């Protein structure tokens, strides 16, 4: 089993790929906020860890924080507590950190349809079949025209095809337009951004659509 608290400590090194990935993700969150002027925006973040991807952005953008209603779903109790402390410490009253299974549709009841759906740190811990199912299920969580932000590690040379290409194709097949792909050749991470151009689907009754493998 992965020690997720130890895993998060790589964020303390600003030169680590994990820190670079966070900066890339946060830049895309800021681009989303800059492009949307609605008074209220909904965000859901799956397997959200300590929540810093989103919370750090909102902490430095109080005007945007005031219009964000977000649900962060995380199973690890310690990481949930950290996210709640961070949100409270920055006065982010509209952040709902839930301890729950992000791979079940029931975890999102009352928080969707969302304008921003975040799958950061998720796809690399799922089977290909579950990633495909998650991409399809995203249409149940997304509002019309929603932005989807996702990450995936790259495969090292000689160890199979680049999984990001499959993911990009699956999003395209489900009616998502690609807006951005950050894929530095020397880095171990990929950050993708898509926008829903097809019609969203209604949220189905509670069921599992992925199983986190680590």
Q: Residue 8 above 90 pLDDT? A: no
d(CA 190, CA 76): 24
Give the burial string for 129-158 (b: 16+ CB within 10 Å, else e). Answer: ebbbbbbebbbbbbbeebbbbbbbbbeeee
d(CA 149, CA 181): 10
d(CA 34, CA 16): 27
Q: Residue 205 above 50 pLDDT? A: yes
pLDDT digits (tens, 9 = 90+) for 76-99: 999 999 999 999 999 999 999 999
pLDDT digits (tens, 9 = 90+) for 36-79: 999 999 999 999 999 999 999 999 999 999 999 999 999 999 99
Kindly state the tokens that stand for 102. 């992000």
Q: What is the mean pLDDT of the chain?
A: 92
The confidence band for 7, taking pLDDT boundaries of 50, 70 and 90, is: very low
At 98, which helix (H) or strand (E)?
A: strand 95-99
**Domain assignments of the chain as residue spans, ordered by start:** 16-196
From the centroid of its chain, how far is CA 182?
A: 15
Q: Helix or strand or coil: residue 189?
A: strand
Give the burial string for 29-64 (b: 16+ CB within 10 Å, else e). Answer: beebbeeeeeeebbbbbbbbbbbbbbbbbbbeeeeb
Q: What is the CATH number of domain 16-196?
A: 3.40.50.150
d(CA 211, CA 86): 27
pLDDT digits (tens, 9 = 90+) for 158-187: 434 578 999 999 999 999 999 999 999 888
pTM above 0.75, yes or no: yes
d(CA 99, CA 155): 31
Residue with tokens 């932000």: 149
pLDDT attached to residue 49:
96
Kindly state the tokens that stand for 189. 């991470």
With a pLDDT cut of 70, the percent of the chain lying above it is 89
Helices (H) and strands (E) in the chain, counts: 7, 7
């Amino acid at each position: 089993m992965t020690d997720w608290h130890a895993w998060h400590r790589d964020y303390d090194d600003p030169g680590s790929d994990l820190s670079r990935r966070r900066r890339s993700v946060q830049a895309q969150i800021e681009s989303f906020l800059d492009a949307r002027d609605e008074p209220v925006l909904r965000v859901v973040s799956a397997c959200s860890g300590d929540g810093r991807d989103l919370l750090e952005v909102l902490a430095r953008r109080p005007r945007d924080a005031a219009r964000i209603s977000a649900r962060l779903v995380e199973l690890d109790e310690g990481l949930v507590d950290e996210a709640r402390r961070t949100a409270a410490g920055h006065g982010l009253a509209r952040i709902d950190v839930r301890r729950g299974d992000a791979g079940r549709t029931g975890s999102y009841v009352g928080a969707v349809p969302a304008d921003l759906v975040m799958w950061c740190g998720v796809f690399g811990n799922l089977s290909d079949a579950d990633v495909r199912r998650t991409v399809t299920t995203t249409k149940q969580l997304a509002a019309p025209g929603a932005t989807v932000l996702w990450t995936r590690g790259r495969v090292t040379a000689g160890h199979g095809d680049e999984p990001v290409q499959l993911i990009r194709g699956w999003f395209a097949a489900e009616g998502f337009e690609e807006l951005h792909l950050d894929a530095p050749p020397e880095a171990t991470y990929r950050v993708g951004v898509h926008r829903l151009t097809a019609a969203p689907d209604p949220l189905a009754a509670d069921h599992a659509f992925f199983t986190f493998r680590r």
